[in-house]
Structure 1
Amino acid sequence: MAKFLTLNTHSWLGEDSELALEILGKQILAADYDVIALQEVNQRIDSPDVLQAPYTLENQHHLHEDNYALKLVEYLKERGVNYYFTWAYGHIGYDEYHEGVALLSKQPFTSERSVLTSNVDDEYDYHTRRALIAKTQVAGQEMCVVSGHFSWWKNDFKSEWHRLEATLATEEAPLVIMGDFNNPENTPGHELILASPLKLKDSHLAAKEVTGGATILQDIDGWENNDKALRIDYIFISQQLEVTQSHVLFDGKEQPLISDHFGVECVIK
């Protein structure tokens, strides 16, 4: 069995970000995920660089001491659990942060790369988007895992998806593509992914055991004036993988809210 988690962390932007990180860390310790995908992984623009970091992705932005993924990995390590991680920088968020995406894995990454998916490549333009692609061993099998934070349908999601799709077209390892897709279930963006030649399925729809549904509530950043709870955070997996469970976490019910998004976990057989 293999366990995956995705969460748009909204890091350092909540009322008690340190507590949110601790809650996330405790969940990771309890669930023992194989791979974790995080979005809105922030670090302050003016915070110090890490001089010697457990971080290997080439040609990427400097890692800072307050990088959310780094702090999470340090929290876990202090409690005796080691995760490898990598981070890809996308753009400046809220005028204060370098914002990007991250992947954490129990096993070392055998390859890792950042792919520009957006039409623009300008850190001062929030439309700049990168997906993080890595390979790692999961339950004895090599898998290709992805963390992505995509634009809305009206803001060129289609071309962003097609760029990622083209990058993964020759990938032979099973795919697990996770993240904030900003396209609700049963809309053109969601349908585009399900019709992809990558032959993916929505793990939440495919799972035998499911809890939860929506991953955002009404009006949040990027969804101003929205009046509905929507499912926009997903784990898409290759058709040959069998998913047994899918659960929405951190929804303010069984677990507290720690972001403006809920998390999604799945178990693959």
Structure 2
Amino acid sequence: MKVLTLNTHSWLENEPLEKLHQLATQITQEEYALIALQEVNQRIDSLPVVSPYNFHPSEKQLPIHEDNFAYLLVQLLKEQGHDYHWSWAYNHIGYSTYHEGVALLSKQPIHPKTVVVSEEQNPNDYRTRVLLIGQTELAGKPITAVCCHYSWWLETGGFSYEWKQTEQALQNHSSPLLLMGDFNNPASVAKTGYDLVLTSSLQLQDSFLAADQKVGEHTVEKAIDGWGENQEKLRIDYIFASQELSVSSYQIVFDGKSTPVISDHFGVSAIIQ
């Protein structure tokens, strides 16, 4: 089954509505079974939606607004005959304008839970980070899907603290894990966040390393928000999977090659069995 992760940078790109449609087109063509999206924004001052279609709320759910990027995406997909269940978790205020969050879309119903993993827990602070954990199905089998948008590596706090909280939140999982998202820690930098994930008690595999077939590698190739001085090709967006899952394919998408660039990050897709 095909899965996808993308940091959408939603509403902060030029021509964002066109890019929303391009994302919907790719999803309908590839028929991803499971999708994790980060930087899924809605304006603070926009109007809330009553009973959004196929939405599965978590406890203490922040209302979905009419311009929520994931809400509009699900509506577009529905118009094209593709139904997705979805959930959205609020992380923090972005750019003084948006409720910024993370979203999961699944072909199957989702039972969501949110966990604050950052030391900071005030949504007015951009360092507040929340995991969206969705119990759903992939290829007819139960799976624990996690949409992640972590902080950068810091000597204290930051990713190292957040990853410890992640391990605690997921240590008693009963179904295979699929962690997807923007980890903000490059695979090329030794002894930082990437190593913490690979040596974790959760026993995860990196889909890039595990895949039989690979098309592309890096998800950032220039200076972007949060990486303002970057001049390198970085792999900071990942799909990590439990060892019992098989990864047959890894592909970079939305990189301007076979698919258009729609964000300051490229997306990652994989075939998981």
The TM-score bracket by the shorter chain reads over 0.9
3-state secondary structure, aligned to 2:201: coil
- Measured after TM superposition, the shift of residue 205 of structure 1 is 1.0
- Measured after TM superposition, the shift of residue 218 of structure 1 is 2.1
Letter in 2 for 1:69: A
**How do 1:76-155 and structure 2 match up within 5 A?**
76-109=77-110, 111-154=111-154
CA contact (8 A) 2:114 2:132 kept: yes
CA contact (8 A) 2:186 2:194 kept: yes
**How do 1:212-251 and structure 2 match up within 5 A?**
212-251=216-255
3-state secondary structure, aligned to 2:135: strand
User: Equivalents in 2 of 1:262, 1:226: separation in Å?
Assistant: 15
User: Equivalents in 2 of 1:116, 1:163: separation in Å?
Assistant: 8
Q: Partner residue of 1:198?
A: 202
**How do 1:21-32 and structure 2 match up within 5 A?**
21-32=20-31
Structure 2 segments unaligned to the other structure (5+ residues): none
Identity across the alignment (%): 50
Letter in 2 for 1:145: A
3-state secondary structure, aligned to 1:92: strand
More displaced 10-residue stretch of structure 1: 53-62 or 173-182: 53-62
- Measured after TM superposition, the shift of residue 156 of structure 1 is 1.2
- Normalising by structure 1, report the TM-score: 0.97
User: Equivalents in 2 of 1:121, 1:60: separation in Å?
Assistant: 15
Letter in 2 for 1:22: H
**How do 1:42-81 and structure 2 match up within 5 A?**
42-54=41-53, 55=55, 56-81=57-82
User: Equivalents in 1 of 2:201, 2:96: separation in Å?
Assistant: 38
Deviations 1:146-181 (A, max 9, x none): 001000002610110110111000102000000000
- Normalising by structure 2, report the TM-score: 0.96
